[in-house]
Amino acid sequence: MGKPIKVRRGLNIPLKGKAEKQIIDLSPGKLYALKPTDFHGIRPKVVAKPGTEVKVGTSIYYDKFHPEVQFCSPVSGVVKELVRGEKRKLLEIIIETDGKQIQETHEIHDYQTADSVDLIKTLLQTGFWQMITQRPYGVIPNPESTPDFVFVSTFDTAPLAPDYGFVLENMQEELKVGLDILHKISGKEIHLGLNAKADNTLFENLPHTITNTFEGPHPTGNVGTQINAIRPINKGEIYWTINIQNLAMIGRLFLKKSIDFSRAVSFVGSELNQTGYIKVLPGQSVKEIIDGKLVQDNVRVISGNPLTGKAIEKEGYLSFQENQITILPEGDYYEFFGWLIPGLKKFSLSRTYFSWLMPGRKYRLDTNYHGGERAYVVTGEYEKVCPLDIYPQQLIKACMTEDIDKMEQLGIYEVIEEDMALCEFVCTSKTEVQSILRESLDMLRKEMS
Amino acid sequence: MNKLRRTVDKIKPHFQKGGKFAKLESTFGAFETMLFVPNHTTKSGAHIRDAMDMKRTMVVVIFALVPSLLFGIYNTGYQHFLAIGESAEFWSVVWYGLLKVVPIVIVSYVVGLAIEFIFAQIRGHEVNEGFLVSGFLIPLIMPADVPLWMVAVATAFAVIIGKEVFGGTGMNILNPALTARAFLFFAYPAWMSGDKVWVGGMVDGQTLDAFSGATPLAQAAAGNTSFSLGNGAGIDTIDMIIGTIPGSIGETSKIAILIGAAILLITRVGSLRIMLSMLAGGVTMGLLLNTFAANPFMEIPWWEHLLIGSFLFGMVFMATDPVTASQTAKGKIIYGFLIGFLAILIRVLNPAYPEGTMLAILLMNVFAPLIDHYVVQGNIKKRMKRLKTT
């Protein structure tokens, strides 16, 4: 392990409601939903119509473009209904569980003897393949492709993020198996990003890895930041990334030969009366999780972290692979002369509110925009929070004007939304950076295929 | 507060689609959002947002300009009473200054904001806050004796031609306030330079016959480098720092400007890069001129250039305008340095223009996108090279 790589630019947003290191017991839920909207660039084709009995690992829908990629039920029970949105877009497939967790009989190959074809087959059939993310574009990798590089970050620096050292405490064996498999199916050594400020005993001496340590504020823990520091993505190259808990879950699948989608997520936010870690299944009903745990009712429930997560209705369902549930106050109020007041409780990268005089303070931030959307006026703020070797504001402008050549030149292949989420947070002009970037990535992917 | 909010909510429907005054929607919006930060919540992307917005940015700049305005008001009165040869009490000095300066501020805001509102209305946009600063800057860079109709014409020119034709705040190439001044400078040169306009009441001949209203800058250009006030009393360095000298309303007090600079830098609203590099550029040129000095103006010590004319004011409040400056970090350094360098060069070596700061900033405003282009190109080339070597 060499000297840590210092990331200088970035921003830690000091939010209230960090996770206590405790497991909060949760009674298992009744309703679950699969949400095709969790993935970019797929077209879902449902195979389990309402009324169908399903088991854990039974295919519910697949991707029309890649029929081998199956999306499977996390529970056993009955498919209850399909929820569609505008233009009949499929939003949710709701499953009511019988609580028995009977497993579908897929052949789970022995990871020590099986070759990469068989391993990939198991991953595809059980619905674990989509735990891997491909860059560029941030999509599910094509099962026929192999990556040029594989990167995994072992830590998360996002606001109120889970501590993977705690989450994966007893899963070192699973991690080892997961790495074995990832190594086999990718044919590459895995670049592992470690946190210089954390206890890394769990992540040391893992097989097939090249480790790098990083030090710095968010987004240092983002795999995109680590890739950019070690070996930036060039046009035409394919990188795989996978969340560290996902990796351990893949390891568990092969080690225990059991299809188990459960994961520990941090349950955080200023509006909870108790924070900690909970064990959930993907698509679990939020209502059953948060009932009786809120300080007040006017809240935003986020599957994921406050910068990149998805807002879910209180009647909604968790996303497929987020490791965090964040509960924040909604900001749907008017503020009298809000732009003029001293603002001791307001957080800003700038020092225009007097709260900067109180370092170390934790904030209860809400979902208010704190201002109207404007044309770009202020410059240089994106650069302060974006450690990647790109010109973020120029890149977003290229995206706005749909100038593909410029986007490529400015390094759009090196980023997905999470890498520029902080730019969106600090933007004085309240530009929707992440959705602008996503539209361009989708457009580019279409053009290139 | 709640009562006010209820009233606003009650009349709001009239200004929305289908209401009686739907045509005034963005005008209503401007006043509503001034009173209340809207209740909009994030829909996609980051769920939490920085508390900073355009209004806060602009209001910080205005706070930073207030010391210059206040001193400008005092100095306008002070110079006037000096010129008519009477001594006056503090409050009558301030009163005279108020009578001179406040109408200019009002005219600048009324004309500029009216045009902004009309354009926002036509485009169906929200009213942008940009002019709140421009409207404050314009009076500060005017001579005290400028006729109000000229302020009105210049402001209209700056807002329409300098800004709105390019698409409004954020899209303009030239600094709007300087555009207003440049317009007057070339259209009515007698009112923007010379020895009379800087002292209130002098144009009307209220002042003593022997009194000269020449600024230190004009005196230096005329080869007289031991500066003096109109009544013959000498101007020393302290006077130039405090600002009791003739000049544009807001530019004379270096202390007031530096207070403004401190506000901009502490809040991180103004760019330290631009300020420092412009300072470096000015000092470099000053030293060069000292080295090759061939006339008295070239001989004045390099540091004195920072105290005469509008160099410091331009450095703190004009060059740092983020819209018209370079946008990249490296670009800002090049941009600032060249402004400082050119400002002193034009000031000293070009006899046609008594002050170089305005022209240097406007010139570099035009070149800022080019500088950025080459800086960004450097990043692009690096990426291309990486692609080739793999």
**Cβ-based contacts of B128 with chain A (< 8 Å):** 374-375
- The first and second tokens of residue A110, run together, are 């022995």
Could you tell me if B373 lies within 8 Å of chain A, comparing CB atoms?
Answer: no
At A342 the pLDDT is 82
Q: Beta-strand (E) ranges in A136-253?
A: 149-153, 190-195, 209-215, 239-242
Dump pLDDT digits (tens) for B168-212: 888 899 999 999 999 999 998 888 877 778 887 777 777 777 777
Q: Measured between alpha carbons, how far is B368 from B370 in angstroms, rounded to an integer?
A: 5
CB B307 within 8 A of CB B240: yes
* B48/A307 touch (CB, cutoff 8 Å), yes or no: yes
Say which residues have a Cβ less than 8 Å from residue A89's Cβ, sequence separation at least 6.
none
* A332/B167 touch (CB, cutoff 8 Å), yes or no: no
For B290, the enclosing helix (H) or strand (E) is: helix B272-291
Chain A: give the shortest CA distance to residue B215, in Å: 35
**Cβ-based contacts of B45 with chain A (< 8 Å):** 308, 417, 421, 424, 432-435
**Cβ-based contacts of B332 with chain A (< 8 Å):** 380
Q: Where are the domains of chain A?
A: 5-13+108-256, 263-357, 381-448
* A337/B383 touch (CB, cutoff 8 Å), yes or no: no
CB A290 within 8 A of CB A297: no
Q: What average pLDDT does range B219-246 have in this prediction?
A: 84
Could you tell me if B329 lies within 8 Å of chain A, comparing CB atoms?
Answer: yes
At B254 the pLDDT is 95
Q: What is the mean pLDDT for each group of 10 consecutive residues in chain A (449 residues)?
A: 87 94 88 94 92 93 94 94 92 93 89 92 94 95 94 95 93 94 94 93 91 94 96 94 96 94 94 93 91 91 94 89 93 85 87 87 92 89 95 96 94 95 95 95 90
At A1 the pLDDT is 54
**Cβ-based contacts of A338 with chain B (< 8 Å):** 36-37
Give the length of chain A.
449
**Cβ-based contacts of A9 with chain B (< 8 Å):** none
Q: Measured between alpha carbons, how far is B96 from B82 in angstroms, rounded to an integer?
A: 12
Query: Is residue B65 pLDDT above 70, yes or no?
Result: yes
At B351 the pLDDT is 73
* B52/A370 touch (CB, cutoff 8 Å), yes or no: yes
Dump pLDDT digits (tens) for B246-277: 999 999 999 999 999 999 999 999 999 999 99
Chain B: give the shortest CA distance to residue A343, in Å: 9
Higher-pLDDT residue of A333 and B94 is B94
Beta pairing class for A190-195 and A209-215:
parallel
Q: Measured between alpha carbons, how far is B78 from A380 in angstroms, rounded to an integer?
A: 41
ipTM over 0.85: yes
Q: Measured between alpha carbons, how far is A444 from A138 in angstroms, rounded to an integer?
A: 12
Q: Residue A268: beta bridge partners?
A: A326
Beta pairing class for A53-54 and A77-84:
antiparallel
The residue in chain A having the minimum alpha-carbon distance to the alpha carbon of residue B376 is A391
Using DSSP, state whether A317 is helix, strand or coil: strand
Chain B: give the shortest CA distance to residue A251, in Å: 32
Q: Measured between alpha carbons, how far is A444 from B18 in angstroms, rounded to an integer?
A: 40
Could you tell me if B4 lies within 8 Å of chain A, comparing CB atoms?
Answer: yes
Say which residues have a Cβ less than 8 Å from residue B195's Cβ, sequence separation at least 6.
B212, B213, B214, B218
CB A364 within 8 A of CB B298: no
Dump pLDDT digits (tens) for A373-432: 888 999 999 999 999 999 999 999 999 999 999 999 999 999 999 999 999 999 999 999
Q: Measured between alpha carbons, how far is B281 from A146 in angstroms, rounded to an integer?
A: 54
CB A192 within 8 A of CB A227: no
CATH class of A263-357: alpha beta
CB A223 within 8 A of CB B379: no
Task: Work out how many CB contacts closer than 8 A connect A with B.
Answer: 210
For residue B45, the Cα-to-chain-centroid distance in whole angstroms is 36
Directed axis angle between helix A392-400 and helix A433-448, to 10°?
60
Long-range contacts formed by A351-359: CB under 8 A, 24+ apart: A351/B266, A351/B267, A351/B268, A352/B52, A352/B56, A352/B57, A352/B60, A352/B267, A352/B268, A352/B269, A353/B51, A353/B52, A353/B56
Alpha helices per DSSP H over A338-385: 381-385
* B382/A332 touch (CB, cutoff 8 Å), yes or no: no
Half-sphere exposure at residue A18, Cβ-oriented, CA atoms within 13 angstroms: 11
Q: Which CATH architecture has domain A5-13+108-256?
A: 3-Layer(aba) Sandwich (3.40)
* B46/A13 touch (CB, cutoff 8 Å), yes or no: no
Higher-pLDDT residue of A225 and B33 is A225
pTM for the full predicted model: 0.93
Using DSSP, state whether B312 is helix, strand or coil: helix
Query: Is residue B1 pLDDT above 70, yes or no?
Result: no
Amino acid in the structure at residue A86: E
* B46/A376 touch (CB, cutoff 8 Å), yes or no: no
Half-sphere exposure at residue A176, Cβ-oriented, CA atoms within 13 angstroms: 11
Dump pLDDT digits (tens) for A244-288: 999 999 999 999 999 999 999 999 999 999 999 999 999 999 998
* B39/A333 touch (CB, cutoff 8 Å), yes or no: yes
- The first and second tokens of residue B310, run together, are 């509008």
At B135 the pLDDT is 94
At A29 the pLDDT is 85
Q: Using 50, 70 and 90 to split pLDDT, how confident is the model at B328? A: very high
Chain A: give the shortest CA distance to residue B284, in Å: 26
Task: Please give the full DSSP string across A252-281, using - where no structure is assigned.
Answer: HHHHHT-----EEEEEE-TTBSS-EEEEE-
* A370/B50 touch (CB, cutoff 8 Å), yes or no: yes
* B327/A393 touch (CB, cutoff 8 Å), yes or no: yes
Rg (CA), chain A: 22
